[in-house]
Amino acid sequence: MKSKKLKNKMIILCGGRGKRMGKITDTIPKPLIKIKNKPIIEHKIRYYKTQGVQNFIFCLGYKSRQLKKFLLKKTINSIYHDAGLHVGILKRIFLVKENITDNTIISYGDTLAKINFKDLIKKHESSKCLMTIVAAPIQNPFGLINWDQKGKVVDFKEKPILNHFIGYSVINPNFFNKVNKRIMNLKNGKGIIEAIKYLIRIKQVNIYKFNKLQITINSQDELKYAKLNYKKYFTL
């Protein structure tokens, strides 16, 4: 594939099988599941364009032809790379690295957050890190307990506020020079997790705090929530 030097671009990861969606993804890839009257991926693209992103690198896999056919109608100057069904997230990103010549946003195909991308890129550049990950607060619904080797409780926290990665990040092109190739072929998200852990150890991961509207659709329950609350997230 000949490299295109795209500016104001984003990598969108759309290659997974979406097994947790059950029978829904037997016939369509997860990004084409509709919320109200538009697929998830269309809601994402519409918002990203309002943020100045005009060019996309779509990392495809499961039912790629079906997804590409839809995407060709919605985007221009974009790249479509099909790495197959069994490739993990890290390798999908590595396979398009020749197109990453500046700081580039990465988004999972099933997540939408109304992030100010200009601010995200600015904060990433100021950090001088190889990677910035977007984190949001989440309240654990349970009381969490820790105990010592004698079985005595040493800590109890009732429904603590935790922080979680919401599927958005920014990488610098030098990211590819630092990640160990031995983790390249790890399945699913294991490779990218190991890459992030390594970059944390060498103090090359920045955090971008985000506490506004966001939604992730990993399961049928989350899809039901999205359909009931879509007006908070999407403008139709």
User: CB of 112 within 8 A of CB of 40?
Assistant: yes
What ranges do the domains of the chain cover? 9-127+166-205+213-233
**9-127+166-205+213-233, CATH topology level:** Spore Coat Polysaccharide Biosynthesis Protein SpsA; Chain A (3.90.550)
pLDDT at 6: 52
Mean pLDDT in residue range 188-195: 94
| pLDDT tens track for 202-217 | 999 999 999 887 777 7
| pLDDT tens track for 130-176 | 999 999 988 888 999 999 999 999 999 999 988 989 999 999 999 99
d(CA 55, CA 11): 9
| pLDDT tens track for 54-110 | 889 999 999 999 999 999 988 777 899 999 988 999 999 999 999 999 999 999 988
Structure tokens at 215: 């939604």
Residue 16 corresponds to which amino acid?
G
| pLDDT tens track for 31-42 | 998 888 889 899
pLDDT at 235: 53
